[in-house]
Structure 1
Amino acid sequence: MDRSWLKADRRTREFENGVDDLLMFAFENGYNEDKISCPCLKCAHSKSWKARIVKNHLFQNGIDETYTRWIWHGEPNIVESPVLDESDNSVSSNYQFCTRMGEADDDDVLSSDSSDFINHVKGEHEPLYPGCENYTKMKALVKLFNLKVKHGMSDSCFSDVLLLIGSLLPEGNNVPSSFNEAKKTLCALGMGYDKIHACPNNCLLYRGPQDEDETTCRICKASGWKLNKKGEEQERVPAKVLWYFPLIPRIRNLFNTPAIAKDMTWHETERQQDGEMRHPADSQTWKDVDQK
Protein backbone atom coordinates (compact mmCIF):
# COMPACT_ATOMS: atom_id res chain seq x y z
CA MET A 1 0.00 0.00 0.00
CA ASP A 2 1.37 3.40 -0.99
CA ARG A 3 2.17 5.55 2.05
CA SER A 4 3.72 8.54 0.36
CA TRP A 5 0.64 10.49 1.51
CA LEU A 6 2.19 10.69 4.99
CA LYS A 7 4.26 13.64 3.74
CA ALA A 8 1.46 15.21 1.72
CA ASP A 9 -0.18 18.52 2.55
CA ARG A 10 -3.10 17.99 4.94
CA ARG A 11 -5.31 20.13 2.72
CA THR A 12 -5.02 17.76 -0.23
CA ARG A 13 -7.27 14.93 -1.32
CA GLU A 14 -4.22 12.65 -1.22
CA PHE A 15 -3.85 13.10 2.53
CA GLU A 16 -7.59 12.64 3.13
CA ASN A 17 -7.64 9.38 1.15
CA GLY A 18 -4.55 8.20 3.02
CA VAL A 19 -6.21 8.79 6.41
CA ASP A 20 -9.25 6.82 5.23
CA ASP A 21 -6.96 3.97 4.12
CA LEU A 22 -5.28 3.91 7.54
CA LEU A 23 -8.58 3.73 9.41
CA MET A 24 -9.95 1.10 7.03
CA PHE A 25 -6.77 -0.93 7.54
CA ALA A 26 -7.37 -0.87 11.31
CA PHE A 27 -11.00 -1.97 10.88
CA GLU A 28 -9.96 -4.82 8.60
CA ASN A 29 -7.57 -6.03 11.28
CA GLY A 30 -10.34 -6.23 13.86
CA TYR A 31 -9.81 -2.96 15.73
CA ASN A 32 -12.80 -1.46 17.51
CA GLU A 33 -14.11 1.71 15.88
CA ASP A 34 -14.26 3.32 19.34
CA LYS A 35 -10.67 2.39 20.28
CA ILE A 36 -8.30 3.40 17.48
CA SER A 37 -4.70 4.31 18.39
CA CYS A 38 -4.09 7.93 17.39
CA PRO A 39 -0.86 8.49 15.39
CA CYS A 40 -1.10 12.28 15.35
CA LEU A 41 1.92 14.27 16.54
CA LYS A 42 0.16 15.27 19.75
CA CYS A 43 -1.09 11.83 20.88
CA ALA A 44 1.79 9.81 19.36
CA HIS A 45 -0.01 6.47 19.91
CA SER A 46 -0.33 7.18 23.64
CA LYS A 47 -4.13 7.50 23.42
CA SER A 48 -6.99 5.76 21.65
CA TRP A 49 -10.12 7.50 20.42
CA LYS A 50 -13.15 6.98 18.24
CA ALA A 51 -12.34 6.83 14.54
CA ARG A 52 -13.84 10.27 13.80
CA ILE A 53 -11.76 11.87 16.59
CA VAL A 54 -8.60 10.22 15.29
CA LYS A 55 -9.38 11.57 11.83
CA ASN A 56 -9.90 15.07 13.20
CA HIS A 57 -6.62 14.86 15.15
CA LEU A 58 -4.69 13.88 12.02
CA PHE A 59 -6.00 16.87 10.08
CA GLN A 60 -5.50 19.23 13.02
CA ASN A 61 -2.13 18.06 14.39
CA GLY A 62 -0.58 16.18 11.48
CA ILE A 63 0.76 12.63 11.41
CA ASP A 64 4.16 11.22 12.26
CA GLU A 65 5.77 10.92 8.81
CA THR A 66 8.02 8.07 10.01
CA TYR A 67 5.02 5.88 10.82
CA THR A 68 5.36 3.80 7.66
CA ARG A 69 4.81 0.44 9.34
CA TRP A 70 1.36 0.52 10.93
CA ILE A 71 2.15 -1.72 13.91
CA TRP A 72 -0.40 0.10 16.11
CA HIS A 73 -3.15 -0.70 13.61
CA GLY A 74 -2.58 -4.38 12.93
CA GLU A 75 0.49 -4.60 10.70
CA PRO A 76 3.13 -7.14 11.80
CA ASN A 77 6.25 -5.56 13.27
CA ILE A 78 8.93 -7.18 11.12
CA VAL A 79 12.31 -5.54 11.50
CA GLU A 80 14.66 -6.09 8.60
CA SER A 81 18.41 -5.78 9.09
CA PRO A 82 19.83 -2.93 7.04
CA VAL A 83 22.34 -3.89 4.36
CA LEU A 84 25.31 -1.55 4.12
CA ASP A 85 26.42 -1.18 0.52
CA GLU A 86 29.52 0.86 -0.20
CA SER A 87 27.90 2.05 -3.40
CA ASP A 88 24.95 3.51 -1.46
CA ASN A 89 25.92 7.13 -1.01
CA SER A 90 23.10 7.89 1.45
CA VAL A 91 24.12 5.11 3.85
CA SER A 92 27.78 6.03 3.47
CA SER A 93 27.13 9.68 4.27
CA ASN A 94 25.01 8.70 7.29
CA TYR A 95 27.83 6.57 8.66
CA GLN A 96 30.38 9.33 8.10
CA PHE A 97 28.12 11.80 9.91
CA CYS A 98 27.71 9.36 12.79
CA THR A 99 31.50 9.12 12.98
CA ARG A 100 31.78 12.90 13.12
CA MET A 101 29.31 12.94 16.02
CA GLY A 102 31.53 10.49 17.90
CA GLU A 103 34.33 8.09 17.10
CA ALA A 104 32.57 4.94 15.92
CA ASP A 105 34.15 1.51 16.16
CA ASP A 106 34.45 -0.71 13.11
CA ASP A 107 31.65 -2.95 14.34
CA ASP A 108 29.15 -0.13 14.91
CA VAL A 109 25.92 -0.79 13.01
CA LEU A 110 23.34 1.86 12.24
CA SER A 111 19.78 0.79 12.88
CA SER A 112 17.02 2.22 10.69
CA ASP A 113 15.88 4.40 13.63
CA SER A 114 19.43 5.72 14.13
CA SER A 115 19.79 6.45 10.43
CA ASP A 116 16.55 8.46 10.40
CA PHE A 117 17.62 10.38 13.49
CA ILE A 118 21.09 11.15 12.10
CA ASN A 119 19.61 12.28 8.79
CA HIS A 120 17.32 14.63 10.67
CA VAL A 121 20.11 16.03 12.86
CA LYS A 122 22.28 16.56 9.80
CA GLY A 123 19.51 18.50 8.08
CA GLU A 124 18.79 20.65 11.11
CA HIS A 125 22.46 21.71 11.37
CA GLU A 126 22.49 23.22 7.92
CA PRO A 127 22.77 27.04 7.78
CA LEU A 128 19.57 28.95 8.45
CA TYR A 129 19.91 30.43 4.97
CA PRO A 130 22.57 30.16 2.26
CA GLY A 131 25.75 31.86 3.45
CA CYS A 132 24.65 32.17 7.12
CA GLU A 133 27.53 31.41 9.50
CA ASN A 134 26.04 32.24 12.91
CA TYR A 135 22.76 30.32 12.99
CA THR A 136 21.53 26.87 12.05
CA LYS A 137 17.86 26.02 11.72
CA MET A 138 17.91 24.19 15.06
CA LYS A 139 19.67 26.99 16.93
CA ALA A 140 17.23 29.56 15.57
CA LEU A 141 14.20 27.42 16.48
CA VAL A 142 15.40 26.88 20.05
CA LYS A 143 15.84 30.63 20.57
CA LEU A 144 12.45 31.36 19.02
CA PHE A 145 10.71 28.77 21.18
CA ASN A 146 12.36 30.29 24.26
CA LEU A 147 10.88 33.67 23.32
CA LYS A 148 7.49 32.07 22.74
CA VAL A 149 7.44 30.58 26.22
CA LYS A 150 8.97 33.61 27.95
CA HIS A 151 6.39 36.05 26.57
CA GLY A 152 3.37 33.72 26.42
CA MET A 153 3.10 33.96 22.65
CA SER A 154 0.08 32.19 21.15
CA ASP A 155 0.53 29.50 18.50
CA SER A 156 -1.04 31.66 15.81
CA CYS A 157 1.16 34.63 16.72
CA PHE A 158 4.23 32.38 16.61
CA SER A 159 3.22 31.19 13.13
CA ASP A 160 2.91 34.80 11.97
CA VAL A 161 6.37 35.61 13.39
CA LEU A 162 7.86 32.64 11.52
CA LEU A 163 6.26 33.82 8.27
CA LEU A 164 7.60 37.34 8.81
CA ILE A 165 11.14 36.12 9.54
CA GLY A 166 11.03 33.82 6.51
CA SER A 167 9.99 36.72 4.27
CA LEU A 168 12.83 38.92 5.58
CA LEU A 169 15.58 36.35 5.00
CA PRO A 170 17.08 35.47 1.60
CA GLU A 171 15.41 32.89 -0.62
CA GLY A 172 16.21 29.28 0.19
CA ASN A 173 16.04 29.84 3.96
CA ASN A 174 15.02 26.98 6.28
CA VAL A 175 12.58 28.86 8.53
CA PRO A 176 9.41 26.78 9.13
CA SER A 177 6.21 28.33 7.84
CA SER A 178 4.03 27.52 10.88
CA PHE A 179 4.09 26.57 14.54
CA ASN A 180 3.05 22.98 13.76
CA GLU A 181 5.90 22.58 11.29
CA ALA A 182 8.38 23.93 13.84
CA LYS A 183 7.01 21.64 16.54
CA LYS A 184 7.35 18.61 14.27
CA THR A 185 11.04 19.39 13.93
CA LEU A 186 11.59 19.16 17.68
CA CYS A 187 9.33 16.11 18.04
CA ALA A 188 11.37 14.27 15.41
CA LEU A 189 14.43 14.71 17.63
CA GLY A 190 12.71 13.07 20.57
CA MET A 191 11.94 16.42 22.16
CA GLY A 192 8.19 15.97 22.09
CA TYR A 193 5.95 15.93 25.12
CA ASP A 194 2.70 14.42 26.33
CA LYS A 195 -0.04 16.49 27.95
CA ILE A 196 -1.86 14.46 30.62
CA HIS A 197 -4.99 15.78 32.31
CA ALA A 198 -4.76 15.82 36.11
CA CYS A 199 -7.03 16.32 39.11
CA PRO A 200 -6.87 20.00 40.22
CA ASN A 201 -6.03 18.73 43.73
CA ASN A 202 -3.27 16.43 42.45
CA CYS A 203 -5.08 13.23 43.44
CA LEU A 204 -4.54 11.40 40.14
CA LEU A 205 -3.71 11.60 36.46
CA TYR A 206 -6.38 10.87 33.87
CA ARG A 207 -4.23 8.59 31.76
CA GLY A 208 -5.57 5.04 32.09
CA PRO A 209 -8.35 3.39 30.05
CA GLN A 210 -10.73 3.76 32.99
CA ASP A 211 -10.10 7.52 33.16
CA GLU A 212 -10.81 8.53 29.56
CA ASP A 213 -14.52 9.18 30.08
CA GLU A 214 -14.38 10.47 33.67
CA THR A 215 -15.22 14.12 34.30
CA THR A 216 -14.75 14.19 38.10
CA CYS A 217 -11.98 12.88 40.33
CA ARG A 218 -13.00 9.56 41.87
CA ILE A 219 -11.02 10.44 45.01
CA CYS A 220 -11.93 14.03 45.92
CA LYS A 221 -14.89 14.41 43.50
CA ALA A 222 -13.47 17.66 42.08
CA SER A 223 -14.44 18.52 38.53
CA GLY A 224 -11.86 17.72 35.88
CA TRP A 225 -12.92 20.77 33.84
CA LYS A 226 -11.81 24.34 34.35
CA LEU A 227 -14.27 26.73 35.99
CA ASN A 228 -14.99 30.19 34.59
CA LYS A 229 -15.49 33.34 36.65
CA LYS A 230 -19.11 32.38 37.25
CA GLY A 231 -18.12 29.00 38.64
CA GLU A 232 -19.45 27.17 35.59
CA GLU A 233 -17.60 24.25 34.03
CA GLN A 234 -15.89 24.89 30.71
CA GLU A 235 -16.47 21.52 29.12
CA ARG A 236 -13.44 19.88 27.48
CA VAL A 237 -11.08 22.48 29.03
CA PRO A 238 -8.97 20.59 31.62
CA ALA A 239 -8.56 22.11 35.07
CA LYS A 240 -4.92 21.04 35.30
CA VAL A 241 -2.49 19.55 32.78
CA LEU A 242 0.77 17.73 33.42
CA TRP A 243 3.41 18.23 30.74
CA TYR A 244 5.37 14.99 30.57
CA PHE A 245 8.64 14.71 28.67
CA PRO A 246 9.16 11.00 27.83
CA LEU A 247 12.58 9.75 28.86
CA ILE A 248 13.02 6.79 26.50
CA PRO A 249 13.24 8.79 23.20
CA ARG A 250 15.89 11.03 24.75
CA ILE A 251 17.95 8.07 25.97
CA ARG A 252 17.62 6.41 22.56
CA ASN A 253 18.97 9.55 20.87
CA LEU A 254 21.95 9.60 23.24
CA PHE A 255 22.74 6.00 22.33
CA ASN A 256 22.64 6.93 18.64
CA THR A 257 26.02 8.62 19.16
CA PRO A 258 28.69 5.90 19.63
CA ALA A 259 30.99 8.00 21.83
CA ILE A 260 28.15 9.03 24.17
CA ALA A 261 26.80 5.47 24.24
CA LYS A 262 30.24 4.27 25.35
CA ASP A 263 30.28 6.83 28.18
CA MET A 264 26.77 5.87 29.29
CA THR A 265 27.75 2.21 29.67
CA TRP A 266 31.15 2.87 31.28
CA HIS A 267 30.08 2.00 34.82
CA GLU A 268 29.02 -1.47 33.64
CA THR A 269 31.68 -2.32 31.05
CA GLU A 270 34.89 -0.59 32.11
CA ARG A 271 34.56 0.29 35.79
CA GLN A 272 37.07 -1.39 38.08
CA GLN A 273 35.15 -3.81 40.28
CA ASP A 274 37.32 -4.96 43.16
CA GLY A 275 34.99 -4.58 46.13
CA GLU A 276 36.16 -1.04 46.91
CA MET A 277 33.88 1.99 46.91
CA ARG A 278 35.21 3.89 43.90
CA HIS A 279 32.04 5.05 42.12
CA PRO A 280 28.34 5.53 42.99
CA ALA A 281 27.69 2.34 40.99
CA ASP A 282 29.55 0.45 43.74
CA SER A 283 26.89 1.41 46.30
CA GLN A 284 24.21 -0.99 47.46
CA THR A 285 21.49 1.46 46.42
CA TRP A 286 22.74 1.50 42.81
CA LYS A 287 22.91 -2.31 42.83
CA ASP A 288 19.33 -2.51 44.12
CA VAL A 289 18.18 -0.29 41.26
CA ASP A 290 20.00 -2.54 38.74
CA GLN A 291 18.29 -5.62 40.18
CA LYS A 292 14.86 -4.04 39.92
Structure 2
Amino acid sequence: MNNLERSWMYERLDGRGAINSSFIDGVDKFIQYACSQMNRMSGDKVRCPCKKCHNFRYIEVEIVKHHLYKYGFVDNYFLWKHQGEKEVINEISSGQDIHGSAQPELGYDNPYRQIVLDAYGPNFLQGSSWQSFNNIEPESSHPCEPSMDEDPNPESQKLYDLLQAADAKLYLGSSVSQLVVVSRMLNIKMENNMSQRGYDQMMQLLKKALPEDNIVLDSYYQTKKLVHSLGLPVEKIDCCELGCMLYWGDDEHLTSCTFCGHDRYKCRIGSRKRKLIPYKKMYYFPLIPRLQRLYASHATAADMRWHHEHTKEDDVMRHPSDSEA
Protein backbone atom coordinates (compact mmCIF):
# COMPACT_ATOMS: atom_id res chain seq x y z
CA MET A 1 0.00 0.00 0.00
CA ASN A 2 1.40 3.38 -1.06
CA ASN A 3 1.76 5.84 1.82
CA LEU A 4 0.16 8.58 -0.28
CA GLU A 5 -3.00 6.51 -0.64
CA ARG A 6 -3.34 6.55 3.14
CA SER A 7 -2.37 10.13 3.77
CA TRP A 8 -5.90 10.55 5.19
CA MET A 9 -4.72 8.66 8.29
CA TYR A 10 -2.78 11.73 9.45
CA GLU A 11 -5.21 14.38 8.22
CA ARG A 12 -7.72 13.89 11.00
CA LEU A 13 -8.76 17.51 11.58
CA ASP A 14 -9.58 20.28 9.16
CA GLY A 15 -8.69 23.94 9.62
CA ARG A 16 -11.66 24.51 11.94
CA GLY A 17 -10.79 21.62 14.28
CA ALA A 18 -13.54 19.31 12.97
CA ILE A 19 -12.89 15.74 11.83
CA ASN A 20 -12.38 15.44 8.06
CA SER A 21 -14.98 13.39 6.20
CA SER A 22 -12.11 11.56 4.41
CA PHE A 23 -10.77 10.48 7.79
CA ILE A 24 -14.17 9.13 8.85
CA ASP A 25 -14.50 7.19 5.58
CA GLY A 26 -10.97 5.87 5.98
CA VAL A 27 -11.62 4.69 9.55
CA ASP A 28 -14.69 2.83 8.28
CA LYS A 29 -12.50 1.10 5.67
CA PHE A 30 -9.95 0.23 8.32
CA ILE A 31 -12.62 -1.27 10.60
CA GLN A 32 -14.07 -3.23 7.69
CA TYR A 33 -10.66 -4.66 6.84
CA ALA A 34 -9.76 -5.43 10.48
CA CYS A 35 -13.06 -7.29 10.98
CA SER A 36 -12.42 -9.34 7.83
CA GLN A 37 -9.23 -10.80 9.35
CA MET A 38 -10.77 -13.20 11.84
CA ASN A 39 -7.44 -14.80 12.74
CA ARG A 40 -6.18 -11.41 13.96
CA MET A 41 -9.20 -10.72 16.18
CA SER A 42 -9.97 -11.67 19.77
CA GLY A 43 -13.59 -12.75 19.57
CA ASP A 44 -15.41 -9.69 18.24
CA LYS A 45 -12.62 -7.31 19.29
CA VAL A 46 -9.82 -5.88 17.13
CA ARG A 47 -6.45 -4.34 17.90
CA CYS A 48 -6.73 -0.59 18.38
CA PRO A 49 -4.02 1.34 16.44
CA CYS A 50 -4.65 4.71 18.10
CA LYS A 51 -1.89 6.73 19.76
CA LYS A 52 -3.13 5.62 23.16
CA CYS A 53 -3.36 1.86 22.58
CA HIS A 54 -0.48 1.31 20.10
CA ASN A 55 -2.00 -1.96 18.79
CA PHE A 56 -1.51 -3.67 22.16
CA ARG A 57 -5.17 -3.78 23.23
CA TYR A 58 -8.12 -5.64 21.74
CA ILE A 59 -11.20 -3.41 21.96
CA GLU A 60 -14.77 -3.38 20.68
CA VAL A 61 -15.13 -1.92 17.18
CA GLU A 62 -17.15 1.13 18.22
CA ILE A 63 -14.62 2.04 20.90
CA VAL A 64 -11.79 1.67 18.36
CA LYS A 65 -13.61 4.17 16.14
CA HIS A 66 -13.99 6.56 19.08
CA HIS A 67 -10.29 6.25 19.94
CA LEU A 68 -9.24 6.95 16.35
CA TYR A 69 -11.52 9.98 16.12
CA LYS A 70 -10.15 11.30 19.42
CA TYR A 71 -6.45 10.37 19.36
CA GLY A 72 -5.68 9.53 15.72
CA PHE A 73 -3.52 6.69 14.38
CA VAL A 74 -0.18 5.75 15.90
CA ASP A 75 2.68 7.33 13.96
CA ASN A 76 3.79 5.82 10.64
CA TYR A 77 1.25 3.00 10.60
CA PHE A 78 0.57 2.97 6.87
CA LEU A 79 0.90 -0.83 6.77
CA TRP A 80 -1.78 -2.43 8.96
CA LYS A 81 0.40 -5.41 9.85
CA HIS A 82 -1.19 -6.03 13.27
CA GLN A 83 -4.52 -6.44 11.50
CA GLY A 84 -3.05 -8.98 9.07
CA GLU A 85 -1.91 -6.85 6.15
CA LYS A 86 1.26 -8.20 4.56
CA GLU A 87 4.30 -6.26 3.37
CA VAL A 88 5.07 -6.57 -0.33
CA ILE A 89 8.68 -5.41 -0.30
CA ASN A 90 11.55 -7.70 0.64
CA GLU A 91 12.13 -7.23 4.35
CA ILE A 92 13.45 -9.48 7.10
CA SER A 93 9.93 -10.78 7.66
CA SER A 94 9.48 -11.73 4.01
CA GLY A 95 9.12 -15.29 2.78
CA GLN A 96 12.80 -16.03 2.24
CA ASP A 97 15.43 -17.36 4.57
CA ILE A 98 19.04 -16.22 4.76
CA HIS A 99 19.93 -18.29 1.71
CA GLY A 100 17.06 -16.94 -0.40
CA SER A 101 14.95 -20.11 -0.25
CA ALA A 102 11.29 -20.23 0.70
CA GLN A 103 10.42 -20.22 4.37
CA PRO A 104 7.53 -21.99 6.06
CA GLU A 105 4.39 -19.86 6.13
CA LEU A 106 4.14 -19.05 9.80
CA GLY A 107 2.52 -15.66 9.27
CA TYR A 108 3.78 -12.11 8.91
CA ASP A 109 3.66 -11.27 12.57
CA ASN A 110 5.72 -14.17 13.96
CA PRO A 111 6.19 -13.28 17.65
CA TYR A 112 9.18 -15.61 18.11
CA ARG A 113 10.96 -14.03 15.16
CA GLN A 114 10.30 -10.63 16.70
CA ILE A 115 11.75 -11.85 20.02
CA VAL A 116 15.01 -12.67 18.22
CA LEU A 117 15.15 -9.25 16.53
CA ASP A 118 14.37 -7.48 19.81
CA ALA A 119 17.12 -9.41 21.60
CA TYR A 120 19.76 -8.31 19.10
CA GLY A 121 18.47 -4.75 18.91
CA PRO A 122 18.27 -2.26 16.04
CA ASN A 123 21.95 -1.31 16.16
CA PHE A 124 23.00 -4.84 15.20
CA LEU A 125 20.80 -4.73 12.10
CA GLN A 126 22.40 -1.57 10.73
CA GLY A 127 25.64 -3.32 9.75
CA SER A 128 26.60 -5.17 6.60
CA SER A 129 25.13 -8.37 8.00
CA TRP A 130 21.67 -6.81 7.62
CA GLN A 131 22.24 -6.39 3.90
CA SER A 132 23.57 -9.91 3.46
CA PHE A 133 20.62 -11.27 5.40
CA ASN A 134 18.17 -9.69 2.99
CA ASN A 135 20.26 -10.81 0.03
CA ILE A 136 20.28 -7.25 -1.34
CA GLU A 137 23.20 -6.13 -3.44
CA PRO A 138 24.57 -2.76 -2.27
CA GLU A 139 24.50 0.05 -4.78
CA SER A 140 28.20 0.60 -4.40
CA SER A 141 30.91 -1.46 -2.79
CA HIS A 142 33.97 -0.35 -0.87
CA PRO A 143 37.25 -2.31 -0.73
CA CYS A 144 37.02 -2.34 3.06
CA GLU A 145 33.47 -3.68 3.19
CA PRO A 146 32.93 -7.45 3.51
CA SER A 147 32.03 -9.27 0.34
CA MET A 148 28.57 -10.75 -0.08
CA ASP A 149 30.31 -14.11 -0.64
CA GLU A 150 32.02 -14.04 2.75
CA ASP A 151 30.77 -16.24 5.56
CA PRO A 152 28.95 -14.32 8.32
CA ASN A 153 30.87 -13.57 11.49
CA PRO A 154 30.06 -15.76 14.53
CA GLU A 155 27.71 -13.19 16.07
CA SER A 156 25.78 -12.79 12.82
CA GLN A 157 25.61 -16.55 12.41
CA LYS A 158 23.94 -16.84 15.83
CA LEU A 159 21.25 -14.41 14.67
CA TYR A 160 20.71 -16.34 11.45
CA ASP A 161 20.46 -19.65 13.32
CA LEU A 162 17.87 -18.22 15.73
CA LEU A 163 15.80 -16.71 12.92
CA GLN A 164 15.94 -20.02 11.09
CA ALA A 165 14.78 -21.80 14.25
CA ALA A 166 11.93 -19.29 14.61
CA ASP A 167 10.71 -20.00 11.07
CA ALA A 168 11.57 -23.65 10.40
CA LYS A 169 8.67 -26.02 11.02
CA LEU A 170 9.35 -28.84 13.45
CA TYR A 171 8.52 -31.35 10.71
CA LEU A 172 6.61 -31.33 7.44
CA GLY A 173 3.04 -30.34 8.22
CA SER A 174 3.77 -29.07 11.74
CA SER A 175 2.11 -25.88 12.95
CA VAL A 176 4.92 -24.90 15.32
CA SER A 177 8.56 -23.99 14.79
CA GLN A 178 11.70 -25.29 16.44
CA LEU A 179 12.12 -22.16 18.56
CA VAL A 180 8.51 -22.39 19.81
CA VAL A 181 9.09 -25.93 21.13
CA VAL A 182 12.46 -25.03 22.64
CA SER A 183 11.07 -21.96 24.42
CA ARG A 184 8.05 -23.78 25.85
CA MET A 185 10.08 -26.80 26.97
CA LEU A 186 12.60 -24.59 28.77
CA ASN A 187 9.72 -22.83 30.49
CA ILE A 188 8.28 -26.20 31.58
CA LYS A 189 11.70 -27.24 32.88
CA MET A 190 11.98 -24.07 34.94
CA GLU A 191 8.44 -24.10 36.36
CA ASN A 192 8.66 -27.75 37.41
CA ASN A 193 12.27 -27.66 38.60
CA MET A 194 13.10 -30.45 36.16
CA SER A 195 16.60 -31.91 36.15
CA GLN A 196 18.80 -31.71 33.08
CA ARG A 197 18.70 -35.50 32.82
CA GLY A 198 14.90 -35.48 32.90
CA TYR A 199 14.80 -32.79 30.21
CA ASP A 200 17.09 -34.82 27.95
CA GLN A 201 14.99 -37.97 28.38
CA MET A 202 11.77 -36.14 27.60
CA MET A 203 13.19 -34.47 24.48
CA GLN A 204 14.67 -37.77 23.25
CA LEU A 205 11.26 -39.42 23.62
CA LEU A 206 9.61 -36.52 21.77
CA LYS A 207 12.10 -36.82 18.92
CA LYS A 208 11.38 -40.54 18.53
CA ALA A 209 7.62 -40.05 18.72
CA LEU A 210 7.52 -37.45 15.91
CA PRO A 211 8.07 -38.14 12.18
CA GLU A 212 11.62 -39.01 11.17
CA ASP A 213 12.25 -35.69 9.45
CA ASN A 214 11.70 -33.68 12.67
CA ILE A 215 14.31 -31.17 13.87
CA VAL A 216 13.75 -31.52 17.62
CA LEU A 217 16.84 -30.71 19.70
CA ASP A 218 17.06 -33.77 21.93
CA SER A 219 19.50 -32.51 24.56
CA TYR A 220 19.68 -29.63 27.00
CA TYR A 221 23.17 -28.79 25.75
CA GLN A 222 21.96 -28.24 22.17
CA THR A 223 18.97 -26.25 23.40
CA LYS A 224 21.08 -24.00 25.60
CA LYS A 225 23.55 -23.46 22.77
CA LEU A 226 20.74 -22.31 20.45
CA VAL A 227 18.99 -19.86 22.78
CA HIS A 228 22.04 -18.58 24.65
CA SER A 229 22.11 -15.38 22.57
CA LEU A 230 18.52 -14.53 23.58
CA GLY A 231 19.38 -14.32 27.25
CA LEU A 232 20.49 -11.27 29.20
CA PRO A 233 23.95 -11.19 30.83
CA VAL A 234 24.39 -12.60 34.32
CA GLU A 235 27.58 -12.18 36.36
CA LYS A 236 28.75 -14.67 38.98
CA ILE A 237 30.54 -13.02 41.90
CA ASP A 238 32.30 -14.98 44.64
CA CYS A 239 31.46 -14.06 48.25
CA CYS A 240 32.93 -14.66 51.66
CA GLU A 241 31.19 -17.68 53.19
CA LEU A 242 30.32 -15.62 56.27
CA GLY A 243 28.98 -12.72 54.19
CA CYS A 244 31.74 -10.24 55.01
CA MET A 245 32.63 -9.14 51.48
CA LEU A 246 32.39 -9.70 47.73
CA TYR A 247 35.39 -10.65 45.64
CA TRP A 248 34.67 -7.91 43.12
CA GLY A 249 36.38 -4.83 41.71
CA ASP A 250 39.74 -4.24 43.38
CA ASP A 251 39.19 -7.37 45.53
CA GLU A 252 38.51 -9.67 42.61
CA HIS A 253 41.86 -11.49 42.83
CA LEU A 254 41.97 -12.00 46.62
CA THR A 255 42.02 -15.59 47.89
CA SER A 256 40.87 -14.90 51.46
CA CYS A 257 38.52 -12.51 53.23
CA THR A 258 40.12 -9.25 54.37
CA PHE A 259 37.80 -9.14 57.42
CA CYS A 260 37.62 -12.66 58.85
CA GLY A 261 40.46 -14.35 56.97
CA HIS A 262 38.24 -17.18 55.68
CA ASP A 263 39.48 -18.86 52.51
CA ARG A 264 37.73 -18.01 49.31
CA TYR A 265 38.05 -21.45 47.69
CA LYS A 266 37.41 -24.95 48.95
CA CYS A 267 40.44 -27.14 49.58
CA ARG A 268 40.70 -29.83 46.92
CA ILE A 269 43.16 -32.68 46.92
CA GLY A 270 44.78 -33.50 43.60
CA SER A 271 46.19 -31.62 40.63
CA ARG A 272 46.61 -27.88 40.96
CA LYS A 273 45.06 -27.47 37.50
CA ARG A 274 41.64 -28.47 38.78
CA LYS A 275 39.00 -25.74 38.75
CA LEU A 276 38.77 -23.67 41.93
CA ILE A 277 35.38 -23.84 43.65
CA PRO A 278 34.35 -20.91 45.88
CA TYR A 279 32.60 -21.49 49.18
CA LYS A 280 29.85 -19.07 48.21
CA LYS A 281 28.83 -17.04 45.18
CA MET A 282 26.05 -14.69 44.11
CA TYR A 283 24.41 -13.84 40.78
CA TYR A 284 24.32 -10.23 39.63
CA PHE A 285 21.84 -9.18 36.95
CA PRO A 286 23.14 -5.97 35.27
CA LEU A 287 20.40 -3.35 35.02
CA ILE A 288 21.39 -1.43 31.87
CA PRO A 289 21.03 -4.34 29.38
CA ARG A 290 17.61 -5.11 30.84
CA LEU A 291 16.45 -1.53 30.42
CA GLN A 292 17.79 -1.55 26.87
CA ARG A 293 15.81 -4.72 26.14
CA LEU A 294 12.63 -3.15 27.52
CA TYR A 295 13.06 -0.17 25.18
CA ALA A 296 14.01 -2.41 22.22
CA SER A 297 11.17 -4.91 22.54
CA HIS A 298 8.01 -4.19 20.55
CA ALA A 299 5.99 -5.63 23.42
CA THR A 300 7.24 -3.19 26.07
CA ALA A 301 8.68 -0.14 24.28
CA ALA A 302 5.35 1.72 24.22
CA ASP A 303 4.93 1.24 27.98
CA MET A 304 8.46 2.51 28.62
CA ARG A 305 7.69 5.69 26.62
CA TRP A 306 4.19 6.16 27.99
CA HIS A 307 5.05 8.77 30.62
CA HIS A 308 6.37 11.05 27.87
CA GLU A 309 3.99 10.29 25.01
CA HIS A 310 0.59 9.72 26.61
CA THR A 311 -2.18 12.17 25.84
CA LYS A 312 -2.49 15.00 28.34
CA GLU A 313 -5.48 17.23 28.98
CA ASP A 314 -5.15 20.85 30.04
CA ASP A 315 -5.75 21.49 33.75
CA VAL A 316 -6.07 17.73 34.43
CA MET A 317 -3.49 15.74 36.36
CA ARG A 318 -3.95 11.97 36.38
CA HIS A 319 -0.30 10.97 36.71
CA PRO A 320 2.88 12.63 38.05
CA SER A 321 4.18 12.90 34.49
CA ASP A 322 1.31 15.30 33.70
CA SER A 323 2.89 17.96 35.91
CA GLU A 324 5.62 20.38 34.88
CA ALA A 325 7.96 18.90 37.46
TM-score by length of 1: 0.45
TM-score by length of 2: 0.42
Larger radius of gyration: 2
